[in-house]
């Protein structure tokens, strides 16, 4: 367990004035080895778990575009409208086709019934009845086809008004009012900001130490100065033939604010535990190419010692890879400890 001591330091003002040295308190901490997570760290990119690209399904000029990039949308909101003149004309033409087919069917039905009546009285042959029945069935089929065509025209008319299929944010607008939309052309991209994930490509040789039922990871979001635990880690079953890497999806907790698709992140895959030394990051002094900490000398003073450190941890500590031993005492304020060391040297102590 870490313990904190207090070591007194000379104040420079007293030394310069010739007055007896007055001591200020410098907080210290005894460094003890502790269990630490072993990790494999790799860079990742954030993306939305749910993202849709809205595309045109009919051709026409865009007459209204209600949303721009960054706007919030709700499910069933009208996103844009395409000129429906051609679609309206197609529906009118289909209606006329249905009416004509209905009239043809009525005539064919009447002719068929009349021919059957004449057959019963012996005025026509059976072949005439067969021909009338075939004409009636053909007219019936034509009516069904006309009604189907009318349904297609009506559906196409509905495609002139495009609505949102989910609650989300417009990530990108790919069209402007007045442009001609073509079937299949992307118009807007919408994503759900509540569900995000980090996507990373991991070399195949690393998978042996990562894949398992208990695969866990932590995600570092440098832009937000935030660490979060992964909700789920999914290793895709296929590898990239060119890079020989496997894509891994790391789901973030729902509802994180300020997380944007395309942002940079680091994924720390947890691979085990080991005993490690760690010091508070604020105790580390970085000057040019030197990274060090002030270590208590056991005589009330401090000396600067160069150390080699690892990555910053989620709790604000940094792993010490070399330069410190278990049980040594360091200053938590390197600036004040440096002043103390200089004043002692100046006093010849």
Please tell me the predicted confidence (pLDDT) of residue 337.
75
| Contact in structure between 162 and 52 (CB atoms under 8 Å) | no
| Cβ within 8 Å of residue 234, ≥6 positions away | 248, 249, 250, 251
> Strands 72-73 and 168-173, how do they pair?
antiparallel
Please tell me the predicted confidence (pLDDT) of residue 213.
57
| Cβ within 8 Å of residue 349, ≥6 positions away | 301
- Phi, psi of 94, rounded to the nearest 5 degrees: -65, -35
The token duo for 280 is: 């508070």
**What is the CA 316 to chain-centroid distance, rounded?**
26
| Contact in structure between 79 and 66 (CB atoms under 8 Å) | yes
CA distance 316 to 298: 27
The token duo for 344 is: 């002692």
Please tell me the predicted confidence (pLDDT) of residue 53.
92
> Strands 245-251 and 196-203, how do they pair?
antiparallel
Please tell me the predicted confidence (pLDDT) of residue 45.
94
Please tell me the predicted confidence (pLDDT) of residue 23.
39
- Mapped onto helix, strand or coil, the DSSP state of residue 204 is helix
User: How much is the pTM?
Assistant: 0.60
CA distance 173 to 187: 6
Residue that the structure tokens 């994924």 belong to? 267
The token duo for 60 is: 């026409």
- Phi, psi of 232, rounded to the nearest 5 degrees: -155, 145
Q: Write the DSSP assignment of 232-296 as a string of letters.
A: EEEEEEEE-TTT-EEEEEEEPPTT-TT--TT-EEEEEEEEEEEEEEEEEGGG-EEETTEEEEEEE
Please tell me the predicted confidence (pLDDT) of residue 154.
77
Residue 275, Cβ density class (10 Å: 0-12 exposed, 13-18 middle, ≥19 buried): exposed
- Mapped onto helix, strand or coil, the DSSP state of residue 114 is helix
- Mapped onto helix, strand or coil, the DSSP state of residue 229 is strand
Beta-bridged to residue 278, according to DSSP, are 319
Please tell me the predicted confidence (pLDDT) of residue 264.
94
- What domains does the chain contain, in order, with CATH numbers? 6-32+284-346 (2.40.420.20), 41-49+193-273 (2.40.30.170), 54-83+160-191 (2.40.50.100), 85-157 (1.10.287.470)
Q: Quick one: angle between helices 85-120 and 126-158, nearest 10? A: 160
CA distance 87 to 155: 9
pLDDT tens for the chain, 349 residues long, are 344 444 443 333 333 333 333 335 777 878 777 766 677 888 999 999 999 999 988 888 899 899 999 899 999 999 998 887 776 777 788 888 889 989 998 998 998 888 888 888 888 888 888 898 999 899 889 989 988 888 877 777 778 888 998 999 999 999 999 888 888 899 999 999 989 999 999 888 877 666 555 678 889 999 888 889 899 888 888 888 898 888 999 999 998 888 889 999 999 888 777 677 788 888 788 887 888 888 887 777 777 878 888 777 767 777 788 877 787 887 887 777 777 777 777 666 5
């Amino acid at each position: 367990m870490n313990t904190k001591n207090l070591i007194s330091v000379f104040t420079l003002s007293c030394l310069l004035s010739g007055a007896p040295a007055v001591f200020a308190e410098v907080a210290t901490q005894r460094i003890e080895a502790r269990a630490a997570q072993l990790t494999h760290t790799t860079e990742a990119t954030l993306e939305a778990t749910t993202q849709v690209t809205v595309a045109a399904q009919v051709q026409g000029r865009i007459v209204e575009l209600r949303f721009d990039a960054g706007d919030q949308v709700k499910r069933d909101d009208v996103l844009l409208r395409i000129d429906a003149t051609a679609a309206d004309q197609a529906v009118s033409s289909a209606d006329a086709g249905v009416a004509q087919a209905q009239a043809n069917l009525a005539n064919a039905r009447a002719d068929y019934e009349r021919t059957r009546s004449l057959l019963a009285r012996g005025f026509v042959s059976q072949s005439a009845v067969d021909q009338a029945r075939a004409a009636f069935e053909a007219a019936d089929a034509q009516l069904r086809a006309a009604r189907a065509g009318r349904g297609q025209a009506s559906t196409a008319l509905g495609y002139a008004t495009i609505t949102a299929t989910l609650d989300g944010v417009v990530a990108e607008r790919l069209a402007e009012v007045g442009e001609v939309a073509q079937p299949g052309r992307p118009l807007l991209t919408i994503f759900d900001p509540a569900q995000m994930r980090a996507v990373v490509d991991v070399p195949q040789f690393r998978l042996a130490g990562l894949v398992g039922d208990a695969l866990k990871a932590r995600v570092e979001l440098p832009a937000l100065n935030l660490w979060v635990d992964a909700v789920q880690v999914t290793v895709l079953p296929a590898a990239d033939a060119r890079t020989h890497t496997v894509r891994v999806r790391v789901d973030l907790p729902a509802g994180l604010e300020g997380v944007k698709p395309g942002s940079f992140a680091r994924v720390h895959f947890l691979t085990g535990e080991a005993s490690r030394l760690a010091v508070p990051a604020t105790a580390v002094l970085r000057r040019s190419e030197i990274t060090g900490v002030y270590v208590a000398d056991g005589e009330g003073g401090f000396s600067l010692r160069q150390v080699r450190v690892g990555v910053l941890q989620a709790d604000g500590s940094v792993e010490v890879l070399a330069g410190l031993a278990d049980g040594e005492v360091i200053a938590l304020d390197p600036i004040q400890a440096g002043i103390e060391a200089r004043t002692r040297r100046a006093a010849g102590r």
